[in-house]
Amino acid sequence: MTARLTVVRSGALTTVQDRGRRGHAHLGVPRSGALDAPAMHLANRLLGNAPDAAVLETTLTGCALRPDRGLTVVVGGAPCPVTVDGRPAPWGVPVRVPAGAVLDAGGVTAGVRSYVAVAGGLAVEPVLGSRSTDLLSGLGPAPLRDGDVLPLGGAPTRQPAPPEAAPWPAPPTELTLPLRLGPRADWFTPAALRTLTLATYHVSQHSNRIGLRTEGPPLERVSSGELPSEGMLLGAVQVPPDGRPVVFLHDHPTTGGYPVIGVVAGSALASAAQATAGTPIRFTPG
């Protein structure tokens, strides 16, 4: 019989995520997947799972789960208090949870998104090759609700990494986002291009899995015209009419009509996933 997890407390936003749905943008399906992929990979490595085994991605307030069989879990990503049936348990290392006990990953003490990985991974039904929840298109399992039941995969087949060999990076106190200008940088004034790379922006509280919204000086256009919709990439920096840049994250739309002033390197987006509201942002040429 398949082992299962019951959701006791779903938290503000908890979703199932893996490596995402690559290669379906032509169908209007974004990539989705874990925003902090290195954290997902590290949690899975500590359990002996495949690097992209499906995990839970929590947002700010964590979640609580009850397994129907004893299992091993890792809570990583954004630091948070962890308890098993009310007793303190370590964060960032494997923890044994007995059958019927409640694992509680609490509210974050830094960062934004924690990851709860279980030995064997989550075995929800894949859609287009991925088990990820996509908040924009609605593909994959819905965000968790209290009382949901999640099936688990079989026993891991890999050797778990020792905890001391897997250090967790701290959430950023400042974001440095390397930016390659284009394809629509010519839609902006020279002063706007200077502002983008010299000014300090801040993470907006309205950021989500679709995009990292910013607060700071608006970027002035050369023209007030509109573009026909064109393809959008992960990391694209789109500038809506208010002039504040938006960095597209994993659930971004695959097309859009606002000009893209530049593209942030994908390697920098994991830190963006853990940047709290108010975190300073610097765009650097790169």
Per-residue tens of pLDDT for the chain, all 286 residues = 689 999 999 999 999 999 999 988 888 899 999 999 999 999 999 999 999 999 999 999 999 999 999 999 999 999 999 999 999 999 999 999 999 999 999 999 999 999 999 999 999 999 999 999 999 889 999 999 999 999 999 888 889 989 877 789 999 999 999 999 999 999 999 999 999 999 999 999 999 999 999 999 999 999 888 899 999 999 999 999 999 999 999 999 999 999 999 999 998 999 999 999 999 999 999 7
End-of-domain residue from the set 134, 165, 196:
165
Q: What is the pLDDT of residue 32?
A: 96
Domain identity same for 134 and 35:
yes
Domain identity same for 61 and 129:
yes
End-of-domain residue from the set 165, 184, 199:
165
Q: What is the pLDDT of residue 140?
A: 96
Closest C-alpha to 35, from 61, 17, 60: 17
Domain identity same for 151 and 195:
no
Domain identity same for 160 and 191:
no
In a domain, 190, yes or no: yes
Q: How far apart are CA 106 and CA 59, in angstroms?
A: 10
Domain identity same for 57 and 158:
yes
Q: How far apart are CA 182 and CA 262, in angstroms?
A: 5
Q: What is the pLDDT of residue 208?
A: 97
Query: Taking a C-beta distance cutoff of 8 angstroms, is the pair 229, 259 a contact?
Result: no
Number of residues assigned to the chain:
286
End-of-domain residue from the set 165, 188, 209:
165
Domain identity same for 151 and 181:
no
Helix (DSSP H) and strand (DSSP E) numbers for the chain: 3, 20
Q: Which long-range contacts (CB under 8 A, 24 or more apart) does 23-28 make?
A: 24/128, 25/231, 25/254, 28/137, 28/254, 28/255
Domain identity same for 142 and 232:
no
Q: What is the pLDDT of residue 166?
A: 74
Q: What is the pLDDT of residue 125?
A: 96
Q: Domain range holding 30?
A: 4-165
Strands (E) across 54-208 are located at 55-57, 63-67, 71-77, 82-84, 87-89, 95-97, 103-105, 114-118, 149-151, 175-181, 201-203
In a domain, 170, yes or no: no
